[in-house]
Structure 1
């Protein structure tokens, strides 16, 4: 079987976040049953919930289950090992994967980032409200969800935020090929896409007519501070818009290395990373679909006799990526996923086993923190620029010379690159 290197794997389509769709956005058997109706009345305020707009979202106070405010590393101190698990699409489509990983995170005290596709909150009957750049109105390369799946997604998003997780964006139509690909969009078109994604979250009650569904417990204008583009395309022309909107990070860059990050165009660049791929001479990106692409040449339903070996290989890839960072330069470790049952669900099993392995290292006393991207940015922003500059001098798999105490104690002679500040 031919192996795709990390760079090739990064370029493939990451479709499949919600099932196949036609070019007009239709989903076989997945039509919405929502009527057009009048705009529903916004819910009344309560002592703990203040509705925003039409009541699709609400202000409920400070987000629960957040870590203590970060402090700068002291001279001679080793950095924590940060790990971020993130999910593209973040829709619940009846396979139980969203609550499965919420349960896993709660069991192990982990926070995650869920990159919500805005269309997952828009009923298919209202699909013409979506005007995608360079594509027909209402088109989408991922499917619209049924009404019940939209409600399931809302329920899990509500739970996720209340349990301390971050809700980012995966934008909307997931266009990865042809003249309408997100890789061709201008900064202005990215702004349109983002504003539409936000509107589908902030106005799901108006679009659906539902009055018996609880609001999301956050202000999405304040909650949204970063995202990941479809197929990891278009970052360069997204970043000017992201910076103008005050975003703190972008997680779209493919082919990143396990080193300490810097800012790109003023925004923290937090890429998927190349990690060891056991039994192969090349590395693979730290995402489930890229494991699949290298194992079964993009087939999502390969013969079952391959599954046990591929599950072990995928699990060990994640574990090897974590261990390489943890035992050497302590660069943050980023993992990307989809709520999918590709190849019998082996990639979901691999992610679960990897998270459990990482949690065990923390339980043994290691300073390991499983956080969201936003929480990691909080830590980065609290650090002294010269300390981050020192950490960036460590290459992939490179241990600090003389140990962490010596490496971070004496920062004299380390010229600031300015990468920690606005670029």
Structure 2
């Protein structure tokens, strides 16, 4: 990766929103939630009439998550691997721009599952910001701010809907500190543990913290749901991993500057990095995230010249599609695409993601899955098969074709 691309990696997510947390304490409370035609209405209840409220009722155990694929099976000898594409969203807060519901609808139309890295602070009213004690930062501090009450309610609504429609809820943590002495890059494993526990608490106690006891719970047990994360600005992974491993998490999506090859494990977790992909018109690659394409187009400005938007939209779309085609036609390495619910440069990066989604979904061997679903597939594969897949370099097709390459 060139120096220009490396510089764009360092600025990844500087305009990003944070993410989520875990949670769940035992409770014997039960509740009845509405159903419609045997299936919960969007943003309402899980597809069961009896649920177990957890703690103060902010979350609930509603049973098996709906709309999940069949259990994965190992590849057969000589079988071509599927092309996995994972769309993920850092922050996953709805601020009234309609982007969260827009992509939930697009996912439904194209049979896609996604991962939403929700910020714990996005469920905390600003009047309660002193509840947050970020490592190496003042009490209540946050580099992403706090949502209005209306936007907290919308975020709750669409987080419920996302889970009920089969998507994964992950965490992007809380305050999104990317620079200075308080940066997440400097946090110790113990400080990451504190950040995680606070993020869990904000999700598990939003009813207590907001006073909104008349709203429906989030329909999942967060301790069981949360199995992976992406750190702010892709920083701090080395010290996060020991804590994530202790918690039993299954993957981390925080590595910067990954390559389009099959993944490995670090500290017992699958390491699923944002990847360098072709950047049309340039000799260097760009990271597979909206903000990094922006950084190379408008030099970190989120409002570049309007006249450039059509060309930049096409360049962003073509970059993602080039990354897809390179993997799809060669080593079948998974493609990881990171996004934010932002209207940077007139929303062109949202349009680019939609263009890619609609352009690839109808291929029978393409699987649009969440990170959790992808690691479910990885975990049932023969380790020797995965090791052989990892011998294929970026853009390298298997010698003799897949039938020969994976026959033995």
Q: Taking structure 1 as the reference length, what is the TM-score of the superposition?
A: 0.89
Distance 1:100 1:5 in 2: 33
Deviation at 1:239, TM superposition (A): 0.3
Unpaired runs of 5+ residues, structure 1, are 20-40, 411-423
Deviation at 1:5, TM superposition (A): 2.5
- Partner of residue 259, structure 2: 257
Query: How many residues of Structure 1 are paired with residues of Structure 2 in the alignment?
Result: 383
- Partner of residue 374, structure 2: 376
Deviation at 1:16, TM superposition (A): 2.7
Describe the shift of the 1:266–1:42 C-alpha distance in structure 2 as closer, same or farther (beyond 3 A): closer
- Of 390, 402, 406, the residue aligned with 2:400 is 402
Deviation at 1:188, TM superposition (A): 0.3
Alignment of 1:11-410 (within 5 A): 11-18=10-17, 44-46=30-32, 47-360=49-362, 362=363, 366-410=364-408
**1:393-415 residue CA offsets vs partner (Å, 9 max, x unmatched):** 000000000000000002xxxxx
Task: Give the RMSD, CA atoms, in angstroms.
Answer: 1.4
Deviation at 1:6, TM superposition (A): 2.2
Q: Do the aligned partners of 1:13 and 1:176 also contact (CA within 8 Å) in 2?
A: no
- Partner of residue 6, structure 2: 7
- Partner of residue 22, structure 1: none
Distance 1:131 1:42 in 2: 31
Deviation at 1:18, TM superposition (A): 4.8
**1:121-162 residue CA offsets vs partner (Å, 9 max, x unmatched):** 011110000000000000000010000100000000000000
Deviation at 1:265, TM superposition (A): 1.3
Distance 1:270 1:18 in 2: 20
Deviation at 1:13, TM superposition (A): 4.8
**1:56-92 residue CA offsets vs partner (Å, 9 max, x unmatched):** 0001110000000000011111110000000000000
Distance 1:240 1:11 in 2: 23
Q: Do the aligned partners of 2:159 and 2:218 also contact (CA within 8 Å) in 1?
A: yes
Unpaired runs of 5+ residues, structure 2, are 19-26, 33-48
Q: Which runs of 4+ in 1 moved over 6 A?
A: none
Larger deviation: 43-52 or 228-237? 43-52
SS of the aligned residue for 2:88 comes to strand
Q: Do the aligned partners of 2:173 and 2:199 also contact (CA within 8 Å) in 1?
A: yes
